[in-house]
Amino acid sequence: MDSRREADVIEGFEFVDNDRTFTCQVEALGPARSEAWWWFRVSAVKADRHRYAPFRATAGDTRASVQAAVVAFYDNLLARRALPTPSYWRRGAPRPATTAK
């Protein structure tokens, strides 16, 4: 893990929010990277078989703070996925709006 002692790490846990079961645990991002990140899965969504690592684990993490951050991240992800995909066909990328002076 990172500079924290093993005893300081919150054990993995599960919780339910809006009929979705979240399974959370602390792991490294990969074999070459040793910093600890919070990973989670959502079991109620059959189409979503991904694992997410939205933020690093810190010494001040509590179960409540991790749960709130995970739910906020996942709700934001679902909101972004629900947005219509912009079409760039035949027009190119949209240009930023300019204000008249």
The percent of the chain in helix, strand and coil, each rounded to the nearest 5, is: 25, 30, 45
Q: Which residues are 30's β-sheet partners? A: 33
Position 66 pLDDT exceeds 70: yes
pLDDT bucket at 61, cuts 50 / 70 / 90:
very high
Average pLDDT over residues 66-84: 93
Beta strands in the chain (DSSP E): 13-17, 20-30, 33-42, 52-56
Average pLDDT over residues 31-46: 83
Give the span between the Cα atoms of 73 and 75, in whole angstroms. Answer: 6
pLDDT bucket at 2, cuts 50 / 70 / 90:
very low
pLDDT digits (tens, 9 = 90+) for 9-23: 577 899 999 989 999
Position 40 pLDDT exceeds 60: yes
Average pLDDT over residues 27-48: 81
Question: Are the C-beta atoms of 27 and 12 separated by less than 8 Å?
Answer: no
Give the model's pLDDT for residue 92: 64
pTM: 0.71
Question: Are the C-beta atoms of 36 and 4 separated by less than 8 Å?
Answer: yes
